Amino acid sequence: MNKLKVKVLKKEGNELKIEIEGVDHGLCNLLQKKLLEDEKVDLAGYDIPHPLASSPVIYVRMKGKEKPEDALLKAAENAREINDAFSKELKKALKS
């Protein structure tokens, strides 16, 4: 498994910007999708500044005074639950 490293680039009020070393579009796209499903999230996106140095930057801005770190943690938990459910169903399908 790749070693992940998270660096907070900006944490001010209702905005959070983090850099994640060791991941690519797959995780970032899933996190963005889960963040945008949260009605408290005003804006969520990610960017990979340089394709050869894959350290995506995820940006979250919340509505009102909600904490973006709470929304990101919730999105990560939702992504984990999807992964667990997929793994369980895949194992079941491969046994048949």
Domains of the chain with bracketed CATH: 5-95 (3.30.1360.10)
pLDDT on residue 3: 84
Write the DSSP string, 6-45.
Answer: EEEEEEETTEEEEEEET--HHHHHHHHHHHHTSTTEEEEE
Q: How far is CA 43 from the centre of its chain?
A: 13
Instruction: With a cut of 70, list the residues of the chain below it in pLDDT.
Output: 1-2
User: What is each CA distance from 8 to 17, 39, 56, 84, 92, in whole angstroms?
Assistant: 6, 23, 12, 27, 39
> What are 74's two structure tokens?
């919730």
pLDDT on residue 67: 96
